[in-house]
Each structure stands twice: as structure tokens, then as C-alpha cells.
Structure 1
């Protein structure tokens, strides 16, 4: 079973992130045997298809270059012209074969692992220059597998070649008795079919190597349980970081809440454990709105800010608890508390009139405010 450098077993399948990072580094399953098979078969097929045309064009080229007039031979200026024309004609002759070979050289690698370009694979790796690491690679399991594949490839190719030669023995003998032009075309056909049959022999090697490379690539990406847990933590955010973010968010929310307290009309307290700040704007209509709420230390801070800004503090434990548990910040109070809060706001209005010298001091607010049973909270 595979192990990492810490001795932990790699028993977990690679995650999508691990696979994606591996591809970004240029690490993916590749099969040299599959590449060789595709290029060889494409070259043999192209030779069979375009071989006759290519042979005819090359023979025409040689005929032109070996049939020179006396004035051409004696004039050195023609040498460059003939050489340039011969090069162009040779390129045109082999162009179909070269295009097929280039196309096969591209299709072969991307047929397993897909298209992948990574600049990291082009960077020099000085670790590969370490003799100890090189010796380790030479005696590794991978090196043994490559050696066995090479031996198998040699044996299969040799057997196919012997079979093809024995099968084409009569054709090879007949070529010696054919006219030159026909012999050249016939030779190309024999070479093309021989190469195609030998390429077909490589199918066996590729059929074994492709699953092996996929297995090796998957095995290399396997992860330990700890690596999977660490990756999930990185993706979801580490608990301590998330806790710190939540703490900062709470602090920002509290600062915004405390900054809105000076706009409140009344602060209703427990008197010590709860505090809620309400605002009512008769011009906008609607119900009173909760500007701030808190318990214990935060409740104390709300009361302190209320005192600094001359906001009336009113003790009503039952109503303070009901508003605290039933209303969110910057939201209107529930309909069930309308009557109780209306009595509070009326008392606040009378207190303001009294302090302004326009009325008598109101009677203390009743402790038994009309709070529905479903909104009551025990102390």
C-alpha cells in the first residue's frame, strides 16, 4: 500500500483540487507506447496513400537534376538556382507525409490525458542532476517495468518483421526484375505495408501500457486521510480563522448598533441584564423600531450611552425580555407588543412635556403591561 513521507497509508482517492493542481504542474497520465503506435501507424498509412505520388515526384526531381545541358553545367550561377528548385520540389513531395506525421505526433499525446500545457514542466529541475536520485530511478519498479516493455516490444516487433519478410519474400525477389520506376513504387508499397503490420504489433504493448499508466498516475495522486482533512479545512476555512472573522463581524455590528442609540426615544431595561432601545417616528408611520439590544455587559453599555445622550431609561423587565427575544435589530416590534409599547411611548411623551414645563408629572408606568402570553419570556 502506498505511503507518504510520514509513513501514513494513502488510502483515499484524489480530490478534484488535487487532480487540478497536478494538471497545472504538467503531471498527468502519458503513454510513450501509445504515442509510438499512433505515429508509426499514421506514417505507414500515409506512406501507402501518398507513397506512389511521392516516389513519382522524387524521380522527376532526380531526372531533372541529372539531365543538364552543357551551358548549365558550365555556368556556376545555375548551381544555386537548381539547388533551390530541387529543395522546393523535395519539400512539396514529402509535404503530405510530414503533415500526417506532425498531426499524429500531436494526437498521440493528447489522446491520453488530454491537451495540457504547463510552463512549470519547462523549468530546469536541478534535482534530476543528483547522481543518487538518478541511481534510485534506475533500480526502481518503474525502471523495471520500462525494461520489460522494451524487451516485449523488441520481441513482438521482431516476430512481426520475420512474418512480414517471409510473407513478402516473393515480392522482394520480384522487385529485382522490375523496371526502375515500377520497382521504386513497389518498394515503397512493401515498406509501407511492413511498417503498418509492425505497428499493429505495438497495439499489444499499448493496450497493456495505457491502463498501467492510468493506474500509476492515480496511485501517485492518492491521499492520506489527514491530507483530505487538511484540504477540506483549507477549502472551508480553518475554524480559528472563521471564528476570528465572526468575532470581527460581531464587533462591527455592535459598533453600528451602538452608534444608532442616540436616535432612540426610550431605553427599556431589565434593569441590569437586558436593555433594548426603541425609536418611533410618527411622520413615517409604522410601528416602533428596535435600534439596539443587549444583555449583561452590552446592556450596561447601552444604558451608559443612553445616559450620555439624555435618553429616558425605563425599567420594565417583562417588556424588555419580550422585545429582546421577539425582535431583530432594525426591525419593527411585533403586533402583539403594540399596546404595551404605546403605553411606554405615551409615558415618555408625558415625561418630556413635564420637563419642558408644559404639564404635570405623570404617574409611574404600570408594571403590569399588556404582553401576550406567547411573547412573554421568563426571567
Structure 2
């Protein structure tokens, strides 16, 4: 296989903007679930802090009441109408802590929006037999993405377990002492432990989310990398039919030519070959300035320049050598080079003499 063929089959080129947008329309976006999880934990923390002691004490009081009357509630819950009584108890607890769940929900939504992961793609909803393929499932589980997911979950589980062990070890005296405490004290201790655990888990989730987001974005771009042939095909598709490209180029050239020809009437002189070259020069006569080229062309364009110059009363000076030199060395809008000053000055003098003679023939009229 030739080197060129090898390069064209290797996905070593970064995805283009169009490829990324096409993937997004299919619902294939770089979305980290860990970012959403971290946002939920942070929302819980902010909600607990913003809600103040009222939310905590309300939930604690409800839980304390539940624990304090546990022996009495047994008969009520297990007796007739016990389902309604149990629903009322848990309804009271949920009503006290319900505001805590608003910010986590908003945090999850903000995480999705921030990752630009809110995409409605019909292709994702269509049933595909490939999703039931055992081989595809094995590739997903034991490929780079699957191994990364396994490592991530293992790290999370180990870190959270270690966090729980450290927290319980530090609070073991309080936990043992709570056995002889009041129900309100037990509830307060439980809430305190949950809050500390939540802080640790939230910080851990933020760290994992940062690493996971970097990996997800890297892996997303890796999967969308392109071969050289794919780049060429996309370029052809984006630029369109070669005939249309040629037509657009001709149109652009025609527009540029028309703009150039529109400046011929304001030229001071047109230097010609006399048939193959024509260069129109304009001089502002400002101190330190030199004549500028306002239009130039060969053959058909040169003929159009001469025609417009004749219709506009712009003098035409025949100097084949100067015309060729100007056409070769001076672009539109540029001043003539110093080595052509003498020849251009002669052309300007010729034009002024022509205009002076024309005024004399017209009786001094311009």
C-alpha cells in the first residue's frame, strides 16, 4: 500500500466544524454524567445552606416525632387504615424537606445546558438491531470507553467507601453516645452526619466530574476524527459542484472587472500598447504622491478600457514598453514605481497637453 493510501485510511485528522455539527444533530454530544451528578450534590448543599435551620429543624422534628412514637405507631400502621397513616407520616417529612430538591433539579438542568447536551435527535429514538448485537455490547464494555467507565465507578465506590469509614471513625464516640440520647438528639446527629457526608461526596464528585468531562470531550473528538479521504469528500460537498465553483469564480471576476472599469473615467491618462495592453492612471497631485493604477487589462479588457476612456474624454497615450511594464509591475490601487516615473510623467504631460488643446478648441471651456 502506498504512503498516500495509508494516510487517507487513517483517522488522524481533527473533526471539522461540520462533522461536529452533524454529530450533534444525530444526538452524539460530549456529555459527562458526572458533571450532572456533581451539580445535583452542589444543589443539595446550596439548598441546605440557603434553606437555613428551618428546613433542617422541620425535617428533624418530623423524624424525631416518628422515632419518639415508634412503639405507638406500630399498632396504627399495622391496623385498619394504616396505609393512610403511614402516607401522612412520610408526607409530613417530605413536605419539610421538599424545597431541598428544587435546587438539585435546577443544578442538573444547568449542567445539561452548560454542556450543550440538550438535543432532541430523532435518530436516537429509532430502533436499531445493532444495539442488540452481543459483539457491539462487548466492544462497548471492553473498549476504551467501557474500561474508562469501569475505572471511574471503581474509583468513586472506593473513594466514597473510604469517606464513610473516615467519617464514622471520627464520629464513633457521638454515634455510640446517641444510643442513650433522646430521639431529637439522634435525629440531629443523623442530619449532621448526612450533611458532612454530603459535603465530602460533593467535593469528590466535583473532582471526578472535572476529570470525566476532560476525558469525555477527548474521547468524543477521538471518535469523530476523520481520514484524509473524508476531509476531501467533505470539502467537495461543502464547496459544491466544480462547474458551480467555476461559475462563481467567473461571476466574482466579472464583478471585480466592472468595479475596475467604473474607475476609468476618473483617470488622468490611459497608457496603451496600443492593442494588447491598457493601464489607466490617476494622479491626485498631492505633495509626495505618485500616479496610481486604477484599471488595467489585456486584449478584451484593454479594449473596453480604451472604449470607456474615449467616451469619457480620458486621453490615450501610446507607449508599448511603458504599458507592458506598468501592467506587469503595478497592481490596482498601487502607485507606479520610481523607475517608471519618467515615462509616466511623459504620459501625464501628454494628457495635459491634449486637454489644453481641447479647451482651446472649445474656446476656453473645460
Does the TM-score normalized on the shorter chain lie above 0.5?
Answer: yes
Give the number of the structure whose residues are more often helix, by fraction: 2
Correspondence for 2:228: 225
Partner of 2:184: 181
Query: What is the alpha-carbon distance in structure 2 between the residues aligned to residue 239 and residue 186 of structure 1?
Result: 76
- Structure 1 residues 191 and 80: CA distance shift in structure 2, 3 A: closer
**Structure 1 position 80, deviation (Å):** 9.8
Q: 1:145 aligns with which of 140, 143, 148?
A: 148
Residues 1:106 and 2:83 are matched in the alignment: no
| Pair 156,372 (structure 1): closer, same or farther in 2 beyond 3 Å | closer
Q: CA deviation at 1:36?
A: 2.5
Task: From the superposition, tell whether residues 18 and 28 of structure 1 become closer, same or farther in structure 2 (CA, over 3 Å).
Answer: same
Normalised TM-score (structure 1)? 0.55
Aligned to 2:60: 55
CA distance in 1, matches of 2:196, 2:210: 22
List aligned pairs for 1:193-272, cutoff 5 A. Answer: 193-243=196-246
Deviation of 1:110 (Å): 3.6
- The answer for the alignment partner of 2:96 in structure 1 is 93
Decide whether the 8 Å contact of 2:30 with 2:117 is kept in 1: no
Moved more, 19-28 or 55-64: 55-64
Residues 320-368 of structure 1: CA deviation (Å, up to 9, x unaligned): x99985349xxx95352699xxxxxxxxxxxxxxxxxxxxxxxxxxxxx
Computing the radius of gyration from Cα coordinates, the structure with the larger value is 1
Deviations 1:124-167 (A, max 9, x none): 33321122221222222222222222222222222211111111
Tell me if structure 2 keeps the 8 A contact 1:34–1:108.
yes
Residue 35 of structure 2 corresponds to residue 34 of structure 1: yes
State the SS of the aligned residue for 2:9: coil
Q: CA 1:322/1:131 → structure 2, altered by over 3 Å: closer, same or farther?
A: closer
SS at match of 1:159: helix
Residue 118 (structure 2) pairs with residue 116 (structure 1): yes
- How far apart, CA to CA, are the structure 2 residues paired with 1:246 and 1:195? 64
* Shift of residue 239, structure 1, vs aligned partner: 0.8
2:19/2:224 contact within 8 Å kept = yes
**Contact 1:160–1:201 (8 Å) recurs in 2:** no
| Bigger mean CA offset, 216-225 vs 197-206 | 197-206
Q: Is residue 61–residue 90 contact of structure 1 (8 Å, CA) maintained in 2?
A: no
Match in the other structure for 1:334: 308
Contact 1:322 1:375 in 2 (8 A): no
**Matched-pair contact (CA < 8 Å) for 1:41–1:199:** yes
What does the per-residue CA deviation read over 1:286-339, in whole Å, with 9 as the maximum and x for residues that have no partner?
xxxxxxxxxxxxxxxxxxxxxxxxxxxxxxxxxxx99985349xxx95352699
Alignment partner of 1:334: what SS? Answer: helix
Label 1:338 to 1:85 Cα distance change in 2 as closer, same or farther (>3 A): closer
The aligned runs of 1:324-363 (5 Å cut-off) are 326-327=303-304, 333-336=307-310
Q: Does 1:164 align with 2:167?
A: yes
Q: Structure 2: which 5+ residue stretches go unaligned? A: 1-5, 252-297, 321-366
Q: CA contact under 8 A between 2:11 and 2:228: conserved in structure 1?
A: yes
Aligned length: 261
Contact 1:42 1:101 in 2 (8 A): yes
CA distance in 1, matches of 2:110, 2:312: 76
**Partner-residue secondary structure (3-state), 1:12:** coil
Return the offset for 1:215.
1.0
TM, length-normalised to structure 2: 0.57
Post-superposition CA distance 1:187-213 (Å, at most 9, x none): 112122123223333444333322211
CA distance in 1, matches of 2:15, 2:303: 48
